């Protein structure tokens, strides 16, 4: 079996943060790497983190079978990373 390296900073469980979406606060639990990736994506777009999360939330709600917000954020980030590789 081939050896697999841990991600930068090692493996870490979810971290809960409060964010404001559409004027109300909600808590989201994501692993630190996902929080870092969201912060980087928000900075690239010159948006506050809450604004990027709110935009992803709008797209999530419009889906035929919307997942929970944390899953939507992870999926959006992975999709973005995959797009960048091609």
Residue with tokens 């999530």: 60
Closest CA to 31 of 65, 70, 68, 57: 70
Average pLDDT over residues 22-29: 93
Specify the pLDDT at position 51: 96
Whether residue 22 is predicted with pLDDT greater than 90 in this model: the reply is no
Asked if the model's pLDDT at residue 32 lies above 90, the reply is yes
Query: Could you give the 3-state DSSP secondary structure of residue 58?
Result: helix
Find the mean pLDDT for residues 25-50.
96
* Separation CA 66–CA 61 (nearest Å): 6
Question: What is the chain's mean pLDDT, rounded?
Answer: 93
Q: pTM value? A: 0.89
Distance (Å, whole) CA 78 – CA 41: 12
**Rounded to whole angstroms, how far apart are CA atoms 9 and 6?**
8
């Amino acid at each position: 079996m081939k050896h697999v390296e841990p991600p930068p900073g090692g493996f870490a469980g979810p971290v809960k943060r409060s964010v404001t979406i559409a004027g109300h606060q909600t808590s989201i639990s994501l692993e630190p790497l996902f929080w870092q990736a969201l912060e980087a994506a928000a900075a690239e777009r010159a948006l506050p983190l809450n604004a990027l999360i709110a935009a992803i939330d709008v797209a999530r709600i419009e889906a035929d079978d919307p997942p929970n917000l944390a899953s939507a954020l992870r999926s959006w980030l992975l999709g973005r990373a995959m797009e960048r590789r091609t």
